[in-house]
Chains A and B, each alone.
Chain A
Amino acid sequence: MGNVIGIGAAPKRKEDQRFLTGRGNYVSDIKRPGMTSGVFVRSPHGHAVLRGIDKSAALASPGVTAVLTGDDVADDGLGSLPCGWGITDAKGVPMKEPPFPMLAQDKVRFVGDMVAFVIAETPEQANAAAELLKVDYEVLPSVVGVLEAVRPDAPQLFDDVPNNICCDWELGDKAAVETAFKKAAHVAKLSLVNNRLIGNPMEPRAAIAEYEPGTDRFTLWTTSQFPHVVRFLMGALVLNIPQHKLRVVAPDVGGGFGVKQFHYGEEAVITWAAKRVRRPVKWVASRSEGYVSDRHGRDHVTEAELALDETGKFLAFRVNTLANMGGYLSTFGPNIPTNLYGPLLGGVYTTPAIYCNVKVVFTNTVPVDAYRGAGRPEATFVLERIVDVAASEMGIDRVEIRRRNMIPKEAYPYQTPVLVQYDSGDPMGCLDGALVAADVKNFGVRKAASASKGKFRGLGYSTYVEACGLAPSRFAGRLGARGGLYESATVRVHPTGQVTVMIGTHNHGQGHETTFAQIVSDKLGVAFENVDIVFGDTDRVQFGMGTYGSRSLVVGGAALSKATDKVIVKGKKIAAHLLEASEGDIQFEAGKFSVAGTDRIKTFEEIAGAAYVPHNYPLEVLEPGLEEQAYYDPVNFTYPGGCHIAEVEVDPETGTVTLVNYTAVDDVGTVINPMIVEGQLHGGIVQGVGQALFENAVYDEGSGQLLSGSLMDYCMPRADHLPMMKVATHSTLCTHTPMGVKGCGEVGTIGSPAAVINAVVDALSHLGVTHVDMPATPNRIWRLLQNASLPVAAE
């Protein structure tokens, strides 16, 4: 029998046995009898009127089963792809919510917009037929940038959305902010761009759908982070399939990062098509297809102003942002640059007045939605950049200005002026820890060593907080959520004492099968190897909202903890009966039920056996069986945060920025598995470094073509771009989650871009550089140095 491996231990990941030996089961591995292959025909134009589609040549192509278009969707009376959030403007007017048809009707609005679905016996035949489809486009000018899209003469995506503005959203006390600015001793200003990103999970999206006429049931296998939500959105709102007639399976999924947490049109088309052709249909995206159809992230243009008194205390913060939504509203689209952005603008500081205006804008680009961090990296970047700008302009040390404004540990719980209340935290403790870990006191020595090689060295800080554990449903509902954001777990104890957990979150790389098993092993005292975690199948798991927003442990783990507690409560009742004691005298510890103060004991396995063989059992008052379920709706977000310190070296000859040191001290609350937490931090930091230094989705204004549409042109961070990182935790416990956990999936991505860019600016500050937009590519740095060197040379 194996051992208990509990909270705080770092066992190797259970799931890696299958992943590392090639025995995972991904959607593209699945084959169904009689399966056909589908290919989407996508718009090559950013913006065009769809004048007509001639299917005849494609239909006549060998092996073709069906060619489906937007007209067929309309004929079947199917719904539009739903948006899960409905935000409102300052006057309470709902956002503009134009329909998002699953296959384009009348118009296409981005390169990659789907115009037809071709089904054939083989992928080759489907591809060949797709090339024969004649689509008559009347090409219109495209608009891809937010600044361009809101101009009066800009191309209009929708007739009833003037200036392409979906919603003019605001948060905070505008008047109080204006008053504070009038009293300010100093106002720091900053204009910045938060670059557009493409998630690039290792596994491209894929789906298979099957219809069983005998039972009138559908099954969809899809690369999703939230199969139950797909079942609800697609079944109830798009295809009109009753929930009990639709099974959605998300098996092993090779990375998500947000890209797979939306209901995509492809899923709806394939499910609908499977019934039409009465055969299973499979689609697997190519990497290139992913670039023009996976939802993109970020893409803001922002003007920010920070008002300070003469001592450097923050008086007020004002932020105006244009946020790109792309061509349609995706599942969480309008929520990301508003509700997940504005409330984070307080950061770890005591700024008393904050106002934020966000214009949410349609453009001829792939729809933009949540991508690891989702709104919070954007907020952190604005705030942590302008703090550095203010410090520099006022001649105050960057660490000192942060200390002067930081929320002290004793002040928690802390109510910010932008809705959220932080329950716990110790930003000063994280900062102090990071200063030591990063050996900041010897930075001058390292800078001099770099200078002797002709290189500029810089140090950058990011002291940040984020909101995760999405989300308290009541709070989210007030902000416009159209669904709940709780989680559920079932703990099934088998007659022999082993445990199967059914949970509504989805594991696609995070190590849930290990972390959740540790929680159960710890609480029930059963061996780690005797706990299996089941997820990703609406027929096997009761319900769930899925994995995103660093919620799996915080919300799902809490449901699991509650369900496990219920098992113990029932076990105590059974033990009391068997041990002929009163329930109140039964203790449960280390897998054993005992009568307090005696040596009378029943093991967990004995109790499980008795529950399923209830010969000696209180059947009058207790049902047989040992299986409990819990739903958990959090009372607040959780607020992980910390301090990240980046150290870079710039080669002024080529403009190359090299990240030479990286230190992170994060408060993630209770750590269940330190190895997994460290891995999450590493991965998150790398994604943030990718945004800061390498990644950029570039569209051509006018044509709407994606110029960075492959791994040859879109630079993902690689191992040789990165130093060994120093990662540590400095945790305060969350006061409202059952185990004190806060979540760690996104912290790295949220804290790191500002730290890296602050370091780059620091390295170049002696040349008069005050800001560098992301990504800080060699060309961009060289250009800044060209422009900066003129005034320096004149001195």
Chain B
Amino acid sequence: MKPFAYHQPDQIPDAAKLLTSIEDSKLVAGGMTLIPTLKQRLANPPALVDLSKLGSLKGITDDGATITIGAMTPHAVVAASKVVQAKIPGLAALASMIGDPAVRSRGTIGGSVANNDPAADYPAGVLGLGATVITSAREIAADKFFLGLFETALEPGEIITAIRFPVPLKAGYAKFKAPASRYALVGVFVAKITDGVRVAVTGAGPGVFRVPPMEAALSGNFDPSAIAAIKIDNDGLTSDIHAEADYRAHLVTVMAKRAVDAALS
């Protein structure tokens, strides 16, 4: 690890100011990706701005039609939340499948969404539910937020403060874990909301994406059989030592069916 300055602001504007005033500084929102990167000396930020003192970024609010989760809420809290379990059980299940107990108690929803790792779980939940990313500056629809491999719509100095999820009619997540890392080799989040069905896939490609043919089929018949024959094009999917692109494409259909099953159960 190389030396760096460490800041722990207690106001969001202070955090944003530090982030913009110190070039190449990085936010710490759990640090589950950042800290290993620093330890391997692959990143050398001059300063870290730790968001853990920002109490307003923690907690879960039930607004009736929506659930709002503060950006610094750890995965374990979301997984164990009675509110999330009751209203969006698929999201609580997703949070319970991230990493291991240590990661779930340190890693946060804001950190995961801002990092946009192509195999992370939360991007599938956020995009699948059509959630809204709330930042220090504005609100961004999930469809406009995720821009590909580790890329998001966040501007320099912009900090995610919360994610607002609509309460769906039904939702489920199915994840095929990469055997070693336990990231999603393929994870599919399926949500039935008032104006249709959304299907979001993580792990399979360079970033989270939706599957319109599955959404159309499930809008007509919200049952696994409706999508059993829908095949995903291998083009653009990830191929690595764990899974070839055509296998990932196959798994998208399998996991989508299982996500629908989970949503129905």
Stretch at the interface among A480-488, A489-497, A712-720: A712-720
Are the C-beta atoms of A708 and B1 separated by less than 8 Å? no
Complex partner residue of B247 from A288, A715, A782, CB under 8 angstroms: A782
Structural contact, B181 and A779, CB atoms closer than 8 A: no
Inter-subunit contact B41/A131 (CB<8 Å)? yes
Q: Give the docked Cα–Cα distance between A712 and B119 (Å).
A: 12
B2–A713 contact, CB under 8 A? no
Main secondary structure of the interface of A (DSSP, over half): loop
> At the interface, yes or no: B254 with Cβ under 8 Å from chain A?
yes
Contacts of A655 in B (CB 8 A): 247
- Given that A127-B41, A288-B40, A779-B243 are contacting pairs, would A715 and B250 also be in contact in the complex, using a CB cutoff of 8 Å? no
CA distance A779 to B251 in the complex (A): 10
Docked-complex contact B254 and A654, CB < 8 angstroms: yes
Quote the shortest CB–CB distance from A292 to chain B (angstroms).
13
Min CB distance A96 to B, Å, is: 32
Q: Is B247 a contact of A783 with CB atoms below 8 Å?
A: yes
| CB atoms of A713 and B242 under 8 A apart | yes
Q: Does B229 lie at the interface of the complex (its beta carbon under 8 Å from any beta carbon of A)?
A: no
Complex contact B180–A779 (CB within 8 A): no
Q: In the complex, which of the residues A127, A655, A698, A716 has the most CB atoms of chain B within 10 Å of its own CB atom?
A: A655
B220 within 8 A of A: no
What sequence of 0s and 1s flags, for each residue 234-265 of chain B, a beta carbon within 8 Å of any chain A beta carbon?
00000011111001001100100000000000
The answer to whether A653 touches B254, judged by C-beta atoms less than 8 angstroms apart, is yes
CB atoms of B250 and A782 under 8 A apart:
yes
Q: Which residue in chain B gives the minimum CB-CB distance to A288?
A: B40
Per-residue CB contact flags for chain A residues 259-272 toward chain B (1 = under 8 Å, else 0) read 00000000000000
Q: A288-B40, A783-B247 given as contacts; is B242 within 8 A of A714 (CB)?
A: no
- Rounded to whole angstroms, the CA-CA distance of A131 and B244 in the bound complex is 35
* A777 at the binding interface (Cβ < 8 Å): yes
Instruction: Kindly list chain B residues whose C-beta atoms are within 8 Å of the C-beta of A715.
Output: 179-180
Q: Report how far A777 CA is from B250 CA in the complex, Å.
A: 15
CB of B180 within 8 A of CB of A712, answer yes
The answer to the question of A124 belonging to the interface, with a C-beta cut-off of 8 Å to chain B, is yes
In the complex, chain B residues whose CB is within 8 Å of the CB of A653: 254
Which residue of A694, A712, A778 contacts B181 across the interface (Cβ within 8 Å)? A712
Query: Is there contact, CB below 8 Å, between A779 and B1?
Result: no
CB distance B241 to A713 under 8 Å? Answer: yes
Inter-subunit contact A708/B241 (CB<8 Å): yes
Contacts of B240 on A, CB cut-off 8 Å? 707
Question: How many CB-defined contacts (below 8 Å) exist between A and B?
Answer: 46
A1 CB to nearest chain B CB (Å): 45
Residues of A within 8 A of B1 (CB): 124
Contact A716 B180 (CB under 8 A): yes
Among A707, A714, A779: residue with most chain B CB under 10 A: A779
Q: Which residues of A contact B181 (CB under 8 A)?
A: 711-713
B173 to chain A, nearest CB (A): 16
How far is it, in angstroms, between the C-alpha of A698 and the C-alpha of B250 when the chains are bound? 24
Which residues does chain A contribute within 8 Å of B254, judged by CB atoms?
653-654
Q: A288-B40, A713-B241 are in contact. Are A777 and B179 (CB under 8 A)?
A: yes
Verify if A128 is at the interface (C-beta below 8 Å from B): yes
* B251: A residues at CB distance < 8 A: 654
Q: How far is the CA of A655 from the CA of B40 in the complex (A)?
A: 34
B104 → A minimal CB distance (Å): 15
> In the complex, how many angstroms separate the beta carbon of A296 from the nearest chain B beta carbon?
16
CA–CA, A712 to B181, complex, Å? Answer: 4
Q: Chain A's nearest CB lies how many Å from the CB of B186?
A: 9
> Complex: how many Å from CA A718 to CA B98?
16
Shortest Cβ gap from A712 to chain B (Å): 4
Q: Which of B180, B242, B244, B247 contacts A711 (CB 8 A)?
A: B180
- Quick check: A698 and B241 within 8 Å, CB to CB? yes
Interface residues of A in 706-762 (CB under 8 A from B): 707-708, 711-716
CB neighbours (8 Å) of A712 from chain B are 180-181, 183
Which among B3, B41, B247 has the highest number of chain A CB atoms within 10 Å?
B247
Which chain A residues numbered 766 to 795 have a C-beta less than 8 Å away from chain B?
A: 777-779, 782-783
Collect the chain B residues with CB atoms within 8 Å of residue A713's CB: 180-181, 241-242
On whether the beta carbons of B241 and A128 are closer than 8 Å, the reply is no
**Binary flags per residue of B131-157, CB closer than 8 Å to A gives 1, else 0:** 000000000000000000000000000
Give the docked Cα–Cα distance between A711 and B3 (Å).
26
Kindly report which residue of chain A lies nearest to residue B253, judged by CB atoms.
Answer: A653
Q: What residue of chain A has the Cβ atom nearest to residue B183's Cβ?
A: A712
Which residue in chain B gives the minimum CB-CB distance to A696? Answer: B241
Q: A127 contacts which chain B residues (CB < 8 A)?
A: 41
**Least distance between B26 CB and chain A CB atoms (Å):** 19
Q: How far is the CB of A694 from chain B (nearest CB, A)?
A: 6
Q: How far is the CB of A131 from chain B (nearest CB, A)?
A: 7
* In the complex, residue of chain B having the shortest beta-carbon distance to the beta carbon of A707: B241
Give which listed residue, B2, B40, B242, contacts A779 with CB less than 8 A.
B242
Map CB proximity to A onto B173-186 as digits: 1 under 8 Å, 0 otherwise: 00010011101000
Instruction: Chain A residues near B250: list those with CB within 8 A.
Output: 782
Most chain A C-beta atoms within 10 Å of own C-beta, residue among B179, B180, B181, B251: B179
Contact with B along A119-143 (1 / 0, CB 8 A): 0000010011001000000000000
Shortest distance from the beta carbon of A99 to any chain B beta carbon, whole Å = 32
Identity of the chain A residue whose Cβ is nearest the Cβ of B257 in the assembled complex: A653
Q: Is the CB of B2 within 8 A of A128?
A: yes
Q: Closest residue of chain A to B41, judged by CB?
A: A127
Query: Least Cβ distance of A716 to chain B in Å?
Result: 7
**What is the CB-to-nearest-CB distance from A574 to chain B, in angstroms, rounded to a whole number?**
59
Most buried by B among A288, A654, A696, A712: A654
Q: CB < 8 Å: which of A128, A131, A694, A707 contacts B179?
A: A694
**In the complex, chain A residues whose CB is within 8 Å of the CB of B41:** 127, 131
Contacts of B242 in A (CB 8 A): 713, 777, 779
- In the complex, chain A residues whose CB is within 8 Å of the CB of B243: 778-779
When C-beta atoms are compared, the residue in chain A nearest to B251 turns out to be A654
Q: How far is the CA of A131 from the CA of B181 in the complex (A)?
A: 28
* Alpha-carbon gap, A654 to B181, bound state (A): 18
Minimum CB–CB distance for A744 against chain B, Å: 29
Query: What separation, in Å, do the CA atoms of A542 and B177 have in the docked complex?
Result: 51
Asked whether A654 lies within 8 Å of B176 as measured between CB atoms, the reply is yes
Q: Report the minimum CB–CB distance from A658 to chain B (whole Å).
A: 12
Least distance between B126 CB and chain A CB atoms (Å): 23
Complex Cα distance, B244 from A777, in Å, reads 12
Q: Which residues of A have CB within 8 Å of B244?
A: 779, 783
For the complex, give the distance between the alpha carbons of A131 and B2 in Å.
12
Residues of B within 8 A of A696 (CB): 241
Q: Please encode chain B, from 28 to 56, with 1 for each CB lying within 8 Å of some chain A CB and 0 for all others.
A: 00000000000011000000000000000
Chain A residues positioned under 8 Å from B176 (CB to CB):
654, 778
Provide the bound-state CA to CA distance between A653 and B254, in Å. 7
| Contact mask for chain B residues 1-23; partner A; CB cutoff 8 A; 1 contact, 0 none | 11100000000000000000000
CB distance from A785 to the nearest CB of B (A): 10
> In the assembled complex, which residues on chain B have CB atoms less than 8 Å from the CB atom of A779?
242-244, 247
Chain A nearest Cβ from B210, distance in angstroms:
22
CB distance from A288 to the nearest CB of B (A): 7
Q: What residues of chain B lie closer than 8 Å to A777, measured between beta carbons? A: 179, 242
Contacts of A131 in B (CB 8 A): 41
By a CB distance below 8 angstroms, the chain A residues around B179 are 694, 715, 777-778
6 contacts between A and B (CB under 8 A): A124-B3, A653-B254, A655-B247, A707-B240, A713-B180, A716-B180
A124-B1, A654-B254 known, 12 other contacts, Cβ within 8 Å: A128-B2, A131-B41, A655-B247, A696-B241, A707-B240, A713-B180, A715-B179, A777-B242, A779-B244, A779-B247, A782-B247, A783-B244
In the A-B complex, the 6 residue pairs with the closest CB atoms: A715-B180, A712-B181, A715-B179, A779-B247, A698-B241, A779-B243
